[in-house]
Structure 1
């Protein structure tokens, strides 16, 4: 195997690969020309640089960061804002640009992304970050289970439907599905099955008739008539769980447990 940096002058560049959740794979290199290896063409992106990579034998999360300019045709500000790079898998490594011998140094996924319209910085999370999750549930007045997920007990198929997009309003960040009960889908989820944001999960934060307001920006290009997967929503209160879904037996919360404000409460007439 190629040993990097074992000589005074070395022909080494860095590379990184991004595997988005919508199926797109992007690859870049800090070299001044494109390099093809490992089945991918790595585009020359000298303005994008990996920051220091921290690897340890400890259980703490290994940290890394990538910084770059928002001028590469594959990294657009609108796509970052639209969430196309959220939770994307990433690989960072070193490559010999003469022999194309390469070695992956870091694997993980993209966490927080910050941009100021001229450049972006992406915080990367290694697989070790899963070890930092708190497995002990905290008491809460609302249900901690994901709707139709583990602990909820309700069928996702029952509350999920395929709809056809009837209208889109980019300025108001909302979409329309003819004849849809919008109120039932507040706090729900939408995923387009066609268009530039295929596979991206949108949260539904408000509704007016059959218009749904989404929690992240829409990008231009999703056509009217596109198919979308819609799942109804739940506000995670015991009233909704019992009255609307008849699922109080599976409620994962403590709605009647006194909270920290117990001493500040007063009787109601």
Structure 2
């Protein structure tokens, strides 16, 4: 039976189903029904406290809807929200009938979680349309002296595995992570991904490197025990000299370092 035929019935037993996929791969299902539902290979746990506001479809506004609900330790916990584990998570919202889960599977919204606001024991999060955001991007990139690519992406084409290292952390003091055996001066602008402990899965930006360790943009969210493993990824300052000298990748440099700037129009012969 088609979706239109089901929705045209005199009585429908409808329920919302949310599929949330975090950037670290963790996927959960939630439903507005008072009992859990099984549909399309995923169990949707009962979360009747989560409610969507009015959903807009077919517009150009990247904000699709707002979701509000109570914080639950079994689904979306306060600790995970504060740690940023749900930042940028993908969300799919479907409508189904709880009497026959999955037969009616009408997609209402698809996007990424935007800003999250907490008020006591509740939260509110906006859902941003990935398609609308793609349409808002410039058709052509703007010129820049520095490289516009990110190290290891499709434009850069560098194989990151050769520029990554797994280390055991000796100690953490505020934003400084002490570890030994590092190649000198290659990790600024790179990243650190925690592989163990309470911070497991979280990625942090490296802003500087010193003797025997690196400095993060902000301290780890949770305490780090000595011996905790982390994955370090080298960084790039996006200069042509670095691209050619350290990575041998000048052919893929995405910038115009020798293009004259606007000051060329204001130059005039000196007396």
State the TM-score bracket (shorter-chain normalisation).
0.7 to 0.9
Residue aligning to 1:211: 213
Given that residues 182 and 210 in structure 1 are in contact (C-alpha distance below 8 angstroms), is that contact kept between their aligned partners in structure 2?
no
Aligned to 1:93, what secondary structure does the other structure show?
Answer: strand
Q: Tell whether 2:89 aligns with 1:88.
A: yes
Please give the alpha-carbon distance, in whole angstroms, between the structure 2 residues aligned to 1:105 and 1:249. Answer: 43
Match of 2:144 in 1: 140
**Preserved CA contact (<8 Å) 2:149 2:156:** yes
Mapped contact 1:87–1:109 kept (Cα < 8 A): no
Where does residue 65 of structure 1 map in the other structure? 65
Deviations 1:202-257 (A, max 9, x none): 32123343333334663327654333221111111234334544544543212232
Unaligned runs of 5+ in 2: none
Kindly tell me: are residues 216 and 117 of structure 1, through their superposed partners in 2, closer, same or farther at Cα, counting changes over 3 Å? farther
Cross-structure match for 1:156: 160
Task: Report the Cα distance in structure 2 between the residues aligned to 1:104 and 1:218, rounded to whole angstroms.
Answer: 40
RMSD of Structure 2 on Structure 1 (CA): 3.4
Q: How many residues align?
A: 262
- Cα distance in 2 for residues equivalent to 1:34 and 1:217: 40
CA shift at 1:95, angstroms? 2.8
Helix, strand or coil for the counterpart of 2:80? helix
* Partner Cα distance (1:151, 1:40) in 2: 35
Contact kept in structure 2, 1:160 and 1:230, CA below 8 Å: yes
Counterpart-to-counterpart distance in 1, 2:233 and 2:63: 35
Structure 1: 5+ residue runs without aligned partners? none
Is 1:168 matched up with 2:172?
A: yes
Contact 2:209 2:215 in 1 (8 A): yes
Matched, 1:231 2:229: no
Partner SS, residue 161 of structure 2: coil
Q: 1:85 to 1:261 in 2, by over 3 A?
A: farther
Contact 1:181 1:209 in 2 (8 A): no
The answer on whether the counterparts of 1:63 and 1:126 sit within 8 Å (CA) in structure 2 is: no
**TM-score normalised by structure 2 residue count:** 0.77
Tell me the CA shift for residue 262 of structure 1.
Answer: 4.8
Superposed CA deviations along residues 6-54 of structure 1, whole A, max 9, x for unmatched, are: 35554222121112232322222223x2322114333333332222333
Encode CA deviations 1:172-203: one digit per residue, 9 max, x unaligned.
34433223356420101222333454444332
Give a deviation string over 1:82-121, Cα, whole Å, max 9, x none.
3322332322112323343541413533242232454231
Give the match for residue 25 of structure 2.
23
* Alpha-carbon spacing, 1:91–1:62, altered in 2? closer, same or farther (3 Å): same
